[in-house]
Amino acid sequence: MNAALVLGVLASAIASGTSLLYATLGEIVGERAGIVNLGLEGIMLIGAASGFAATAMTGNPFLGVTAAALAGAAANLIFAYLVVGRQANQLATGLTLMFFGLGLSALIGRPFVGTLIAGLPKLRILGLGSMGDPLTAYDGLVYLVVPTAILIWWLLFRTTWGLGLRAVGESPVAAVAAGLRPGRLQYQALAIAGLLGGIAGAHLSLALTLTWEEGMTAGRGFIAIALVIFAKWNPLWAIAGALLFGAAESLQLQLQAAGADVSPFIMNMIPYLLTLLVLIVWGWSRQAAAPAALGRNFVGVE
């Protein structure tokens, strides 16, 4: 492996890990409040499609990101209403949200199949290197993702709001006894998760592919859910996880570009198999970091 390849892998790992990290951060916020959202894949698709549509219509990618975030939050509030307001089964509702997102994004994206956009502008904040050097020319969302992770960490672990949110995820009954309102906090958590999931989708369509394609997230939502376990529900660990999976994805692209004699189909399996492997290793080490009330519905106290 030569230096150029390593540099290329690293550069595109950061680019493709960004989307994963936004999605993972959103899921962490929701799961810290005790709610598993398997619909993240659908949220990302809705974000990717609506962000692309808004950008193609207005020519302004920043409006696109905003639209994606709002659409993601709106869709996630449907989920929140069902699991928090109606105590529906979280796993089944989440999977249904995935189908919903698959369908809705196909409808939104249909008029824009084949449309090309300029996408998010590349900023050279670090001021290093020449034009087009991949390490120094990223879009704004890439620069913002690590600060976002730190912000989410700060919100969860250094604010009263975050303490309350985590209390709800560990024990809703204790949270009520402490004078908190679990339902309201869970709605807030899921709204934030939707915003971040929408942005994650928008980064795919507005910065990486620059086109809309049906089902373009290709399971990244599920990989992000696995990354939450990998990161032990900690936003800062999620940075490392997203970088690792971004590297797996970009290694496959770089090897193909370098003309390696491996079937592209075999290479495309790497991210999914790596995810499974990570889950197995994590399961083996028996990490008990999950919020205690994760996945259970809180039906109120007597």
Partner 1 sequence: MLRDDALVWRLLSTRAAAFAYVAFLALSAFALLLVIAGKDPWQAYVDTLVYVFGNAYGFSELLVRMTPLLFTALAVALPARIGLINVGGEGQLYMGAWLATAGELALQEHSAFVLLPALTVLGFVGGGLWALLPAILRALRLVNETISTLLLNYVAPLIVSYFIFGPWRSPESSSYPQSPAFVDAARLPTLFYSRVHVGLIFALLCLALYAVIVSRTRFGLEMRAIGGNPPAAQRLGIPVSRYILTVMFIAGGAAGLAGMAEVAAIQGRLVSELSPGYGFIGFLVSWLAGTSATGIVAMSFLFAVLSSVGDMLQITQGLPYAVINILLAGILFIVLGRRPVASVAR
Q: Which is nearer to partner 1, 52 or 100 (CB)?
A: 100
Q: Does 261 bind partner 1 (CB under 8 A)?
A: no
Question: Least distance from C-beta 221 to partner 1, angstroms?
Answer: 9
11, 63, 70, 104: residue in contact with partner 1 (rule CB under 8 A)? 104
Q: Does 58 bind partner 1 (CB under 8 A)?
A: no
Q: Does 99 bind partner 1 (CB under 8 A)?
A: yes
Q: Does 280 bind partner 1 (CB under 8 A)?
A: yes
- Phi/psi at 103 (5° precision): -70, -50
Question: Least distance from C-beta 44 to partner 1, angstroms?
Answer: 14
Question: Least distance from C-beta 96 to partner 1, angstroms?
Answer: 5
- Phi/psi at 270 (5° precision): -50, -50
- Phi/psi at 95 (5° precision): -65, -35
Instruction: Choose one: 84-92, 121-129, 155-163, 164-172; the region binding partner 1 (CB under 8 A).
Output: 84-92
Q: Which is nearer to partner 1, 130 or 284 (CB)?
A: 284
Q: Does 300 bind partner 1 (CB under 8 A)?
A: no
User: Between vectors from CA 129 to CA 126 and to CA 132, what angle results, nearest 5°?
Assistant: 100
Q: Does 272 bind partner 1 (CB under 8 A)?
A: yes
Q: CA-to-CA distance for 47 and 33, rounded, in angstroms?
A: 22
Q: CA-to-CA distance for 223 and 220, rounded, in angstroms?
A: 5
Binders of partner 1: how many residues, by CB under 8 A?
A: 45
Joined tokens for residue 111? 């008029």
- Phi/psi at 128 (5° precision): -100, 160
Contacts of the segment 285-289: beta carbons below 8 A, 24+ positions apart: 287/229, 287/232, 289/232, 289/233, 289/234
118, 177, 178, 276: residue in contact with partner 1 (rule CB under 8 A)? 276
Compute how many other C-beta atoms are within 10 angstroms of the C-beta atom of residue 33: 29
Q: Does 78 bind partner 1 (CB under 8 A)?
A: yes
Q: CA-to-CA distance for 24 and 149, rounded, in angstroms?
A: 10
Q: Does 265 bind partner 1 (CB under 8 A)?
A: yes
Q: Does 87 bind partner 1 (CB under 8 A)?
A: yes
Joined tokens for residue 171? 């024990």
Joined tokens for residue 179? 């004078």
Q: Are 207 and 139 in contact (CB under 8 A)?
A: yes
Give the x/- contact pattern for partner 1 in 125-164, rule: CB under 8 A.
Answer: ----------------------------------------
Q: CA-to-CA distance for 122 and 139, rounded, in angstroms?
A: 4
Q: Sort 251 into a burial class: Cβ within 10 Å, 0-12 / 13-18 / 19+.
A: buried
74, 215, 232, 294: residue in contact with partner 1 (rule CB under 8 A)? 215
92, 151, 178, 289: residue in contact with partner 1 (rule CB under 8 A)? 92
Note the residues at the interface with partner 1 (CB under 8 A): 38, 78, 81-82, 86-89, 91-93, 95-97, 99-100, 102-104, 106-107, 110, 214-215, 218-219, 222-223, 225-226, 263, 265-266, 268-269, 272-273, 275-276, 279-280, 283-284, 297, 299
